Amino acid sequence: MASKVPETENFRKFKQQQLLKKFIHNRQKTADSIIDFPMNKKRLRVLSKSKTLARNAAGILYWMFRDCRVQDNWAFLYAQELALKNRLPLHVCYCTHSECARTSLRHFKFLVRALKLVYNECQELNISFHLLYGEPVSAVLDFIHNYKMGALFIDFSPLRLPMSWVEQIREKLPKNIPFCQVDAHNIVPCWRASDKLEQSWQTIGPKITSQLSEYLTEFPPVVKHPYDSTYQFPNLNWNHFRDFIVIDDTVEMLHWCRPGYPGAVGELERFLRMGLQDYHEKRNDPMKKATSRLSPWFHFGLISPARVMLEVQEYMKDHPESVKSFIAEAVIRRELSDNFCFYNENYDKLKGAPYWAIKSLKAHRKDNRKWLYTLEEFENSQTHDDLWNAAHNQLLRKGKMHGFMRKYWAKKILEWSPTPEDALAWAIYLNDKYSLDGRDPNGYVGCMWSICGVHDRRFMEREVTGTIRYMDYKECEETFDVNAYMKKFNRKIVNKKEPVEENPKKLKK
C-alpha cells in the first residue's frame, strides 16, 4: 500500500489549487462549449405537455433548491443550453420556504454562505441570481409571469415537500411553458436507476453499476452568459433573507467546515490524500480519518457526487478495494436512499418499514425496557451509557456523527424509548436538528435501517427490539478504541437513575 503524502501546508494549498483549477475552468470557455457538448437527454424529465419555448420569452429560469452550486450541475447546464440556443438571458432563483422556518443557526449560516458564493459566481458569469420569498410555488409562478420566463428547470428531491412543489407547478404553470426536472444530485437519475421500490443495496446495485459508464461522465462548464436581461430587478438583500426566517439560535454554528464549493473541494482533497487508502479497512473506526466527511456538502448540493467519483476513480490502481467500497457507500447506498424516499411515501414513519419489522416491533411493544428516557434526556446526553453520550456529544458539537456511531446511537434510542414510534420520531428529530446533513434521504433511511429494519433482514429475536439487527457496547469495543473516543467527546453528563427492571414499572398500554 502506498505511503501517505506528508501533510504540509504548502502541499495542501498546492493540491487544493490544482483541484479548483480543474473544476472551475469556465473562464476560458465559450458558449460553444455547452452548445456543442453531447448532452444526455435521459437526465432530464419533461413534466409539461409543451416542449417548445413560450412565445415572447424574455429568459429561462432555473429554480435551484437541492443542488446549490454552479459548476458540475446538470440542471444548471440544461437551463443554460436552452438559453444559449434561443439567445435568451439565464436566471437562477432560490426560495425561502416552510422548511426554512424551523431551521437552526447551524444550517442557516452554512447554507447562506454557500448561496453567497453561488451569487458571486453567477455575477461573474453574467447570470442573474434571485432570492424569492414566501410560498415557493407562488413566488416562482409570479416571477415567471412578471418577467416572461419561457421555460422552467427544477432540481430533483424525493422528499414530500419538494415533490409537492413539483405537482403544484405542473397544475398551475401555463401550458405553453416547458417544465423540466433534472436529477443533478444522483449520478444515475433516480427514475432511471429503478422504476420501483428496491429492497436492498444488493437489488439496486447491479442496476446502478450497469449504467455508470453512461452517466458518470465529465461535465462541460457553465460559461459566461452572453445575453443580458432588459428588466430591472430588486437588489439582493441578504439581511431580509435572514429576517424572513425564524432561526433556532440554540444550535450553534460550526467552524470546522468551510461552506460552498471551495470548502467541499478542500474536504475532498483531504480525503484523497489521507483517507481513501484506508477507507476499505478502517471506515468503521471513528478515531481514524478514513471517511470522506462530505455528507454536509452532498446534502446541500455544494459538490456533485459525480465529481467526487470521477476523482476517486483515478485511484483505482493504487487502492482498488477502497475505491470499490467507496462506490458501494457513496453511490449505491446513497442512491438507494433516494429510491426509498421516492417510492415510499412513509419514508419517515413506522408503517414505511417492511412487514416483518412492523410485526416484530408490534409484538414487543409492551416489553419492559431496562432503561427508559425522555426526548429531553436524550437531547441533553443524559443516559447511563457513556459511549452513547459521547456519540451524541459529537453530534451536538460537530454537527456530524461518524456513520458507525450513528447506527449505535439510533439503535439504542429504539432500545430505551417507550415505543418504536417514539424512537423513530426522536432519532429523526435529533438528527435533523443537529446534523448538517439532516432532513436528507440518507438520514431518514439511516434511522429507518437502525430502528425499522429497512434494507436489512431478520436477526435473532430479543426483548424490545424483536428481530431488528442489534448492536451493543462490546461490538464497538471490538471495532475501535472506545475509551479514546469517549475522551475526545467527553461524556460528562451521565444519568444516574436506576434501571427500570430494578424499579419495575409497567409500560402504559
Contact (CB, 8 A) for 155 and 301? yes
Question: pTM score, two decimals?
Answer: 0.91
Give residues with Cβ within 8 angstroms of 46, minimum separation 6.
178, 179, 180
Predicted pLDDT of residue 432:
95
Q: Which residue has the cell 437489488?
A: 203
* CATH of 260-343 among 2.60.40.10, 3.40.190.80, 3.90.700.10, 1.25.40.80: 1.25.40.80
Cell of 149: 420566463
Cell of 131: 432570492
Among 222, 189, 262, smallest CA distance to 70 is for 222
Query: How far apart are alpha carbons 219 and 359 in whole angstroms?
Result: 47
Predicted pLDDT of residue 99:
55
Mean pLDDT by 10 residues, the chain (509 residues): 42 55 54 75 92 89 97 96 95 79 83 96 96 92 96 97 96 94 98 97 97 95 93 87 80 89 93 96 96 96 97 96 96 98 98 98 96 96 94 95 97 98 98 95 98 98 97 96 93 60 42
Contact (CB, 8 A) for 215 and 187? yes
The model's pLDDT over 34-59, given as tens digits with 9 standing for 90+, comes to 667 778 899 999 999 888 898 899 99
b/e code 204-235 from CB counts within 10 Å (16+ = b): bbebbeebbeebbeebbbbbebebebeeeeee
Q: Where are the beta strands (DSSP E) in 64-122?
A: 90-95
Query: How far apart are alpha carbons 160 and 162 in whole angstroms?
Result: 6
Kindly report the number of other CB atoms within 10 A of residue 159's CB atom: 18
Second-level CATH architecture of 24-208+219-243? 3-Layer(aba) Sandwich (3.40)
Domain ranges of the chain: 24-208+219-243, 260-343, 350-502
Predicted pLDDT of residue 499:
73
Among 361, 332, 352, smallest CA distance to 448 is for 352
CATH fold of 350-502, please? DNA Cyclobutane Dipyrimidine Photolyase, subunit A; domain 3 (1.10.579)
